[in-house]
Amino acid sequence: MTGRICLIKSVITALPLYYLSMFKAPESVCKSIINIQRRFLWGWGKEKRPISWVSWKTLCKPKEEGGLGIRDICKFNVALLAKWRWRCISDEKRKWKECLDSKYGLEYGDSQIPVKLQSWWWRDLMKVCMKGDGIGWFQKEVGWKIGSGDKARFWEDVWTGNVNFKTMFPRLYSLSLNQGQKVEEVGVWEESVWKWTLRWRRERFEWEIPMEVDLSMHMSRASVTKDVKDAQVWTFDVSGCFTVSSA
């Protein structure tokens, strides 16, 4: 049993690695690979269909949670593709990235290219990373390490804490004149001291003032630094860099 588990991890899972890291595998392909893994684990050397004594979902859990640490092919495929998404938004300098940036625009992933003109690879990449409600599972786990505020958007991005200000203070967001602006555009340097300069559509009502005070407290926790670029971080890893295992 131990030997078969090792072979599943090092051989059966590794064989389609290149394909899984480049393309979104059809559901039928994932099911076929899982079927091969399951039959090999429970019935190696048997002609009849073996009995699966434990659900495959349980076996794919980490050992700390009672599983065997076998990779779920479907989730593994998504994590491998998400690594390309991470490389697109990171500071990595590559020619392939410049080509994608010129065609799709990689800053926030909001491509203006019609779907019919997008490559199948790009469509699959967007589907797996944006799958779900709102902005998608991948973007929800990406935050900003604030520097000079040259990239992170003040209201829409997560740059202090775990939630963006737009979600935390929807009422104040609706009143703000700084919507869509970057952090560096919502303040000024006065003699090496950073001063916030929020602009509003009108004066706040008395019941809105506590919200503004709470917002100011969250803003004070961030440290804006001159001549330091903002950098995106992956919140699931201590290093701040995306890894397939953490996804």
pLDDT in tens, 89-101: 887 788 888 888 8
3-state secondary structure of 145: strand
* Predicted pLDDT at 85: 87
Band (pLDDT 50/70/90 cuts) for residue 238 is: confident
Q: Are 175 and 135 spatial neighbours (Cβ–Cβ below 8 Å)?
A: no
Give the whole-angstrom CA distance, residue 247 versus residue 114. 29
Please give the structure tokens belonging to residue 215. Answer: 């917002």
Q: What is the mean pLDDT of residues 153-168?
A: 90
For CA atoms 185, 239, 71, 84, the dihedral sign is positive
pLDDT band at 133 (very low <50, low <70, confident <90, very high): very low
Smallest CA-to-CA distance from 223 within 190, 197, 196, 242 is with 196
CA max distance for the chain: 80
Separate counts of helices (H) and strands (E) for the chain? 11, 4
Percent of the chain at pLDDT exceeding 70: 93
What is the per-residue pLDDT across 189-232, written as a single tens digit (0 to 9) for each? 988 889 999 999 999 999 999 999 999 999 988 889 888 888 88
User: Global pTM?
Assistant: 0.76
Give the model confidence (pLDDT) of 20-37 as tens digits: 999 999 999 999 999 999
What pLDDT shows up at residue 199?
94
- Comparing CA positions, the residue from 164, 175, 139 lying closest to residue 222 is 164
- Cα 93 from Cα 98, distance rounded (Å): 8
- Mean pLDDT for the chain overall: 86
CA distances from 221 to 39, 181, 199, 227 (A): 54, 19, 20, 19
**Letter for the amino acid at 243?**
T
Q: How far is CA 137 from CA 57, 84, 127, 164, in A?
A: 20, 15, 11, 15
pLDDT of residue 20: 93
Q: How far apart are CA 220 and CA 158, in angstroms?
A: 15
Provide the pLDDT for residue 216: 92
Distance CA 137, CA 119 (A): 22
Q: Which segments of 9-65 does DSSP mark as H helices, in order?
A: 17-22, 27-43, 56-59
Which DSSP string do the residues of 170-211 spell out, in sequence order? HHHHHHBS-TT-BGGGGEEEETTEEEE---BSSPPPGGGHHH
| Sequence-ordered strand ranges (E) for 62-197 | 142-145, 187-190, 193-196
Place of tokens 């998400």: 82
